[in-house]
């Protein structure tokens, strides 16, 4: 991913473009110990069920379960997992230098057609004696998962890879919605969206309801697959997640979609939208040939 031999771009500049902390390039991340991993799994289970839990309430709940923890340790592990309380709070964190924060564009918007709005998010997955991060891109109207990637780091490259796959396979959305995480505000990610002519929308910081459908996806994935299967390693997890997402897209019926599957809805609505476009294009055609025929008839 990083090219140390690149003479044109310094390591510092490459890190900035990819949204990677420079310290992580020179110092590999330390693996979590077994006690931390067990605690992180429980934190993930609680957070998946109640995404408004901050470190203070999380610590209290863990203590109520008989675990010997303090808030400082819980805060450290939640930061490592990339999670924070998803409720309204003062915006005390400034964007990383050079990372533009875009406005939220979906308020009061009716979203009822495919490729109108896509959304992306990252979640933590406990896997064996470690963990991975999963990014997914979904179509808002149909709930279909368009692309996903696993990574053992929180850098932006796996997010960009998922975005490129979705664009290549499913076309271009009008709007792309994310949270304000450094991966999604990075030059690499926003540049790819701007280059494709896509409007960028970003949630209010800490407002999970702004991206509610993808939060529901994480809850379903974890309760129906990750927590039940207990994958031993990344290879097992990748195969298992691929199988579950295929089930979710093509076989899992959604009540909110009229008991149809996400991918069936995406295809149906895409075909309907294309049919409307064809009619609109036909209405816009010039009538010169008809007028010409009428003129020829009169001349005769």
For 188-231, write each residue's pLDDT tens digit: 999 999 999 999 999 876 555 667 889 899 999 999 999 999 99
Query: Both 65 and 12 in a single domain?
Result: no
Query: Both 155 and 170 in a single domain?
Result: yes
Alpha helices, DSSP H, located in 113-221: 157-170, 182-185, 187-195, 212-221
Helix (H) or strand (E) holding 59: helix 55-64
Query: Both 76 and 178 in a single domain?
Result: no
Query: Both 127 and 58 in a single domain?
Result: no
Within 10 Å of residue 70's Cβ, how many Cβ atoms? Answer: 10
Using alpha carbons only, give the angle 205, 137, 201 rounded to the nearest 5 degrees: 40
- Given a cut of 70, the residues of the chain with pLDDT beneath it are 1-31, 85-98, 205-210, 276-300
pLDDT at site 131: 93
pLDDT at site 40: 93
Query: Both 199 and 240 in a single domain?
Result: yes
Query: Both 26 and 42 in a single domain?
Result: no
pLDDT at site 18: 47
Query: Both 121 and 250 in a single domain?
Result: yes
From 239, 257, 275, give the residue that closes a domain. Answer: 257
Query: Both 62 and 141 in a single domain?
Result: no
From 219, 236, 257, give the residue that closes a domain. Answer: 257
- Residue 146's CATH number: 3.30.420.10
pLDDT at site 99: 78
- Distance separating alpha carbons of residues 203 and 274, to the nearest angstrom: 30
Query: Both 153 and 61 in a single domain?
Result: no
The answer to whether 189 touches 214, Cβ cutoff 8 Å, is: no
Structure tokens at 68: 């010997």
Using alpha carbons only, give the angle 243, 178, 167 rounded to the nearest 5 degrees: 60
- Distance separating alpha carbons of residues 64 and 33, to the nearest angstrom: 23
Residue 236 main-chain phi, psi, to 5 deg: -60, -45
Domain housing 78: 32-87
Query: Both 214 and 236 in a single domain?
Result: yes
What dihedral angle (degrees, nearest 10) is formed by the CA atoms of 272, 276, 279, 283? 180
pLDDT at site 2: 46
Query: Both 190 and 206 in a single domain?
Result: yes
- Distance separating alpha carbons of residues 222 and 229, to the nearest angstrom: 10
- Distance separating alpha carbons of residues 130 and 31, to the nearest angstrom: 8
- Distance separating alpha carbons of residues 232 and 208, to the nearest angstrom: 30
pLDDT at site 129: 84
Total count of domains within the chain: 3
The answer to whether 74 touches 67, Cβ cutoff 8 Å, is: no
pLDDT at site 220: 94
pLDDT at site 100: 87
CA distances from 246 to 48, 68, 114, 123, 219 (A): 22, 40, 18, 19, 16
Instruction: Indicate whether this model's pTM tops 0.85.
Output: no
Query: Both 172 and 80 in a single domain?
Result: no
């Amino acid at each position: 991913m990083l090219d140390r031999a690149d003479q044109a771009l310094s390591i510092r500049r490459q890190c900035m473009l990819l949204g990677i902390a420079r310290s992580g390039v020179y110092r590999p991340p330390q693996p979590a110990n077994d006690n931390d991993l067990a605690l992180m799994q429980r934190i993930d289970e609680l957070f998946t069920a109640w995404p408004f839990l901050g470190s203070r309430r999380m610590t209290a709940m863990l203590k109520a379960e008989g675990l010997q923890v303090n808030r400082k340790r819980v805060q450290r592990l939640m930061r490592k997992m990339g999670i924070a309380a998803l409720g309204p709070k003062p915006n005390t964190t400034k964007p990383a230098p050079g990372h533009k924060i875009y406005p939220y564009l979906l308020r009061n918007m009716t979203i009822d057609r495919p490729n109108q709005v896509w959304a992306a998010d990252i979640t933590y997955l406990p896997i064996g004696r470690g963990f991975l991060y999963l990014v997914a891109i979904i179509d808002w109207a149909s709930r279909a998962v368009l692309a996903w990637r696993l990574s053992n780091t929180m850098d932006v490259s796996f997010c960009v890879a998922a975005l490129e796959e979705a664009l290549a396979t499913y076309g271009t959305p009008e709007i792309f919605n994310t949270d304000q995480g450094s991966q999604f505000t990075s030059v690499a990610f926003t540049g790819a969206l701007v280059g494709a002519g896509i409007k960028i929308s970003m949630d209010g910081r800490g407002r999970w309801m702004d991206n509610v459908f993808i939060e529901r996806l994480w809850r379903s994935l974890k309760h129906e697959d990750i927590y039940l299967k207990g994958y031993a390693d990344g290879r097992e997890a990748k195969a298992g997640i691929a199988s579950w997402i295929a089930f979710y897209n093509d076989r899992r019926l959604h009540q909110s979609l009229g008991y149809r599957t996400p991918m069936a809805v995406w295809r149906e609505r895409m075909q309907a939208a294309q049919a409307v476009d064809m009619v609109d294009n036909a209405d816009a055609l010039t009538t010169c040939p008809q007028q010409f025929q009428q003129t020829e008839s009169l001349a005769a």
